[in-house]
Amino acid sequence: MVARQPRYTKEEFARRGDEIYEQQIRPKIEATNKGKFVAIDIDSGQFELADDELTACDRLLARFPDAQTWLVRVGSRYVHRFGGRREQTA
């Protein structure tokens, strides 16, 4: 198995992934897929949608073995959130 190497800086990687998601993918899928994961190839703009991140990434890599994968959770600013929620007091 050959390890994939990033071809972009972290900033460029994030910029490209967010741009593709916001402009091309989000308008098509967000209304009915909240909470699902989208794996995006930031070179081709192709994507896979699944209930979990591993499945989305595996499907994308099966189609595009050299994909530069950006992961987004539909309807959320974060793929994962660490820590508990703070209780709000009245």
- Pairwise CA distance, residues 6 & 74, whole Å: 24
Interval 10-58: pLDDT, tens: 999 999 999 999 999 999 999 999 999 999 999 999 999 999 999 999 9
Most confident of 5-9, 56-60, 83-87: 56-60
pLDDT value of residue 5: 72
In a domain, 87, yes or no: no
- Pairwise CA distance, residues 69 & 13, whole Å: 9
In a domain, 83, yes or no: no
In a domain, 1, yes or no: no
Task: Give this prediction's pTM.
Answer: 0.81
Q: Is the pLDDT of residue 81 over 70?
A: no
In a domain, 15, yes or no: yes
In a domain, 16, yes or no: yes
- Pairwise CA distance, residues 7 & 41, whole Å: 12
In a domain, 49, yes or no: yes
> Domain total for the chain?
1
Q: What is the residue range of 62's domain?
A: 10-73
In a domain, 36, yes or no: yes
- Pairwise CA distance, residues 62 & 48, whole Å: 10
